[in-house]
Structure 1
Amino acid sequence: MNAEYAYTRKRMHFGKRYNFSDFDKTEVEIKSNPTLMNNYIRMDPVTHATQFGKVYAVHEVNTTTATYKDNKMFHYEGGWPKDINMKDLEQTVRYRRKIEKDELYIHTMLQLLPSMEHCILQNNACNIYEHYYADVEANPLIQRAFSRTVNVYRDPLPTKRQIAHLSWSPDQGNRFAASYCNDDFKKSSSSNYASYIWEVENPNNPYMMLKPFCPILTLEYNPKDSHILISGLATGQVACWDIRRGSEAVDISSVEFSHRDPCDNILWINSKTGTEFFSASKDGQIKWWDTRKMQIPTETLVIDLQKPEDQNVDKAIGISALQFEPSIGTRFMCGLENGIVISGNRKGKSPGEKIATRFKAQYGPVISLERNPTFVKNFLTVGDWTSRIWSEDCRESCIAWTPGHRDFLTGGAWSVTRYSVYYLIKTDGTLDVWDFLIQQDSPVLSVKVLRYRDLGGCNFEISHQPIFKGL
């Protein structure tokens, strides 16, 4: 027979609250007796539990104990039948195909996937808002960015002319070609339109003089042959030069098949023969050429954004910048005077397919356009008062940009040794060096190359800038 008694009582009746007061009263005073210490045995340590309040519970409850066990497994190769040689690739592939065709294979995999996914997701929990090294103070750059002038190359002619373009030779950069030209052709009274090839170690005298019949706006070295150059002329024609055959052009395109405006953009393209290049001008046309047959272009594309299939030159948008990356093949890019950047493909079946991708890059003309040498999907555009970095995967907006400058920008280029560094030049004669890994609000270095009144002059400098190792 089980005897059981249950009673109920409110918790408020279990005991009375304590009432403390400031009254000092001694109820009992027990003085110490040192002689009683001999009756005690010292025990150290001693564990004793003391409960101040009374225990009112009539039973005790213990939670369920969880038992954990660690198991390890090293799986090399197993699960094969005895008659299958696991080292024979043909037998194992045949057996896998046989198992995958089984009807129960899909149902078995569906049952195993939830448990496998649960185990994988256990290791994917992370705090995305955690701040690493928040208490560490930012250290300044170990090496201070600075610049110094190495050589100054002066135009031998007494008349002041602007440098329209520079091109480095592919043979370790021992030489470079400079094209001299005045922007205002009407006021240019000189009949000497010479451009020069300089040696880096000899700034006193040019290595060679190029003698065209009209001003040269752009000049480019052949990346496979350091003796061959191409140039765009003020008449809209293109010319080919071979420094082994003298200072005269070896071949020039016909006027009727050339550009209508001065040709100020020209680049070599990647071909098996190494003789093909393309040019662009303000007339809105892109022409592909071959140095073996310079009279007429091999192909022509008109940048008509309204009706590309009509190829109407009168409605074409002027091209202010041109870009080509050899590692991409038939792809090319061009910057227009209305601020749009075209990413085209020469192998398109129609003119509309060749100029399908468009980016609204700048508010004014795109002055410079260049791909990043390391991440070729990212490209730099320079125009008006800002420079912007774009990605071909994001057409809506740019991924980075510089604050508006006080002076108008006239060009920009990436560093070939450090992918996060690029250079900007301004109308006040200042060269700015930007590094987005260091800071994004201001350049890491600003160099005053020329004074404002010398911008139309005949001098230019090569500066040594040891900002980072290898730069």
Structure 2
Amino acid sequence: MNEYEYIYMKKRKDFGRYCNFDDVECKIIGQIDRSPECGNMYVEQTILNLVLDNIADFSEHSVNTARVQTKSRIMIHTEGGWPKEVDYSEAQDTLKFRKRLEKDPAFVASVKQLTKQTVMCLEQNNTIDLFEHYFQLEEPDHLPENLTMKTVALFKDPSDEKRSVTKIGWHPEGPTKIVGSYSNLRFQRMTDEMPMASFIWDVNERNVPLTELRTTSPLICCQFNSKNSDLLIGGSYNGILNYYDLRKGPTPLYKSSVEVSHYDPVYDVVWLQSKTGTECASVSSDGRLLFWDVRKMSEVTDECLLTDGNKDEPKTLGGVSLEWMQEAGPTKFLVGSEHGITLACTKRPKKAVEIGTWFGAEDRGGYGAHFGPVYCVKRNPFHVKYFLTVGDWCCKMWMEELKGPMMQTPYYPSFLSSACWSPTRAGVFFVSRHDGRLDTWDYFYRMNEVSLSQKVSDYALTSLNVQAQGGFIAVGDAEGTITLLQLCDGLVDPAPNEKNLIGQMFDRETKREKNLEQIKKQSGAKEPKAEVKNDGITIDQADYQGREKAFFGEVGMTGDDLGTNLTGIKAASGGK
């Protein structure tokens, strides 16, 4: 490759005149005189300081304390920072120094000055900005939300003649099937054409029942077996128990013998926890609690006569509700009676069933019995010592160690028929009413009023039951319709530490009731004050004298001898 070279040439004259610098004297070319008036023509620029960095700016705030200027000082790091001339190990030297320091006027002035500065810091720390969002990033323990429940399905009784849904039972394996017991409990209102069958419904099939349970007498209660969902036990209106095996057909596989069965309608049945899974219990208004083994329905395994506990003339109490829970103890049973009293029964092996407590019986130290039958008894699934009863126009909360109610709801304008605790939230329970409304109580949120009231039906609600997972609730009415409701997350998901807080609330109410009972006993044990009976009227002396003085004081008369006294009354009445 060839390399080329280019040469550029230019003459000197084309560069122009060359520079030639010489030192010369300075001379004034022009002069401008100072004129301050011209300064008004200009605007003075404000001095701006601009700092650019990547550090966030912080401004002084009302809640910030004043800055403290620190300074390093030498101190002996022993107790109190004693001066060098004081031996801190000698108690006499330190005591003398303290006394001398306390008498020093400068010490008192220093303490007062430090106190003023401390008060100012405390006041600054306590200052609150009304426009600042405090605790913005913190999450509350329990935030009340808008509670809702949505109707999912309606299961209507296919029979022409209307019957009430007396009991509802959920399938133990999930919200897939429900069994409804249909009957007419109004006395002598059952016609000859009244259908006898009850039905099992599939949640996903709402038009036609999945299975029909046939019987010669209407079923008042029916429940699935927790171990084998193909087995059911049902109590009839005529007092006979029916044992169903769905694998064998819709008719009862076994029936209890008439001789050993109940004399009145069987109002409630429960399956018991056993190795075979064949044991159950039933209660009726005939005043008997019977225990069965479904493999041999011709006889009862045990029996308990429900009485008021009077040794001389015991009265039979008809049972209308039954509660049993494995967590509370396999031997403990709660029975709600027709007289508004709840009975606690104990069934021990190889011993007769005993009645231990009569909750609400006044003759046994209790109070607060319902004015009508106890239609429902339900234990709290998280705190099994506490249970809920429903009767007349209110719900009452009880504790096993107390014979009186611990808490109760306000009286409703309509009659209550049933109640059920939420299986997932310790402080939530549901109540069905005869005006067609379903009320939800949330004791974790508030105890003085209902958290949610839902209109479910135009007819009286007769029964309800919550599914084991807590997401669905089935409600039956007097026209034979079962309404399936889906609960919102606020009624299903437990709040943080809800179980412990509800337990503390129950313990607090229990202690309060025990203290009141103790005060009542102490006040009843005191000696009565002096009393005088005048014509059958009991007069307390201190109370009478106080009222007498108050009366004469109101009319403007004072003195110790005014009016009469009890001695005069006693003398005038002939010493009575």
Q: Is the TM-score greater than 0.5?
A: yes
2:370 aligned residue (343, 355, 362): 362
SS of equivalent to 2:492: coil
Partner of 1:401: 408
8 Å Cα contact 1:348-1:354 kept in structure 2: no
Cα pair distance change 1:389/1:469, threshold 3 Å:
closer
SS of equivalent to 2:239: coil
Name structure 2 gaps, 5 residues minimum.
1-95, 102-129, 361-368, 462-476, 494-576
- Paired amino acid for 1:186: Q
**Aligned mates of 2:177, 2:301 — CA distance in 1:** 31
Cα pair distance change 1:424/1:275, threshold 3 Å:
same
Which aligned pairs between 1:58-457 and structure 2 lie closer than 5 A? 62-63=97-98, 141-184=143-186, 186-189=188-191, 190-307=193-310, 315-327=315-327, 328-347=329-348, 354-360=354-360, 361-393=369-401, 395-452=402-459, 455-457=477-479
Offset, 1:298: 1.0
Offset, 1:173: 2.7
8 Å Cα contact 2:161-2:195 kept in structure 1: no
8 Å Cα contact 1:309-1:350 kept in structure 2: no
Cα pair distance change 1:141/1:284, threshold 3 Å:
same
Cα pair distance change 1:400/1:292, threshold 3 Å:
same
Offset, 1:172: 1.4
Offset, 1:143: 2.8
- Paired amino acid for 1:271: S
Structure with higher helix content: 2
Offset, 1:396: 4.4
Offset, 1:246: 0.6
Offset, 1:184: 2.5
- C-alpha root-mean-square deviation of aligned residues, in Å? 2.8
- Paired amino acid for 1:323: E
**Aligned mates of 2:269, 2:379 — CA distance in 1:** 16
SS of equivalent to 1:356: strand
SS of equivalent to 1:468: helix
Offset, 1:336: 1.4
For residues 431-470 of structure 1, the C-alpha deviation after alignment (integer angstroms, 9 at most, x for no partner) is 0000111111111110111113895312221111205163
Larger mean Cα displacement after TM superposition, 370-379 or 456-465: 456-465
Cα pair distance change 1:185/1:251, threshold 3 Å:
farther
Percent sequence identity is 32
**Aligned mates of 1:239, 1:157 — CA distance in 2:** 21
For residues 373-400 of structure 1, the C-alpha deviation after alignment (integer angstroms, 9 at most, x for no partner) is 111111111111111111213x143232
**Aligned mates of 1:453, 1:171 — CA distance in 2:** 30
Cα pair distance change 1:342/1:158, threshold 3 Å:
same
8 Å Cα contact 2:436-2:457 kept in structure 1: yes
- Paired amino acid for 2:284: S
Name structure 1 gaps, 5 residues minimum.
1-60, 67-134
Offset, 1:65: 10
Partner of 1:29: none
- Paired amino acid for 1:261: D
**Aligned mates of 1:453, 1:435 — CA distance in 2:** 23
8 Å Cα contact 2:286-2:318 kept in structure 1: yes
Offset, 1:224: 0.5
Partner of 1:99: none
Cα pair distance change 1:139/1:172, threshold 3 Å:
closer
For residues 260-294 of structure 1, the C-alpha deviation after alignment (integer angstroms, 9 at most, x for no partner) is 11111111111111000011101110110001100
8 Å Cα contact 2:267-2:319 kept in structure 1: no
**Aligned mates of 1:201, 1:458 — CA distance in 2:** 19
For residues 110-140 of structure 1, the C-alpha deviation after alignment (integer angstroms, 9 at most, x for no partner) is xxxxxxxxxxxxxxxxxxxxxxxxx999999
**Aligned mates of 1:309, 1:245 — CA distance in 2:** 50
8 Å Cα contact 1:264-1:280 kept in structure 2: yes
For residues 336-392 of structure 1, the C-alpha deviation after alignment (integer angstroms, 9 at most, x for no partner) is 1222211121018765x7102221142332111011111111111111111111121
**Aligned mates of 1:228, 1:186 — CA distance in 2:** 31
8 Å Cα contact 1:144-1:467 kept in structure 2: no
Cα pair distance change 1:350/1:362, threshold 3 Å:
farther
- Paired amino acid for 2:373: P
Cα pair distance change 1:380/1:223, threshold 3 Å:
same
For residues 229-270 of structure 1, the C-alpha deviation after alignment (integer angstroms, 9 at most, x for no partner) is 000011111110011111100000111111111111111111
- Paired amino acid for 1:255: V
> How many residue pairs are counted as aligned between the two chains?
340
Partner of 2:75: none
SS of equivalent to 2:247: helix
- Paired amino acid for 1:324: W
For residues 282-336 of structure 1, the C-alpha deviation after alignment (integer angstroms, 9 at most, x for no partner) is 11101100011001111111012235799x7xx3111121110112111111111
Q: TM-score, normalised by structure 1?
A: 0.67
8 Å Cα contact 1:388-1:400 kept in structure 2: yes
8 Å Cα contact 2:434-2:460 kept in structure 1: no
Cα pair distance change 1:266/1:140, threshold 3 Å:
closer
1:465 aligned residue (471, 477, 487): 487
- Paired amino acid for 1:398: P
8 Å Cα contact 1:216-1:231 kept in structure 2: yes
Larger mean Cα displacement after TM superposition, 419-428 or 145-154: 145-154
Partner of 2:469: none
For residues 10-38 of structure 1, the C-alpha deviation after alignment (integer angstroms, 9 at most, x for no partner) is xxxxxxxxxxxxxxxxxxxxxxxxxxxxx
**Aligned mates of 2:316, 2:197 — CA distance in 1:** 32
Q: Which has the larger radius of gyration?
A: 2
8 Å Cα contact 1:143-1:467 kept in structure 2: no
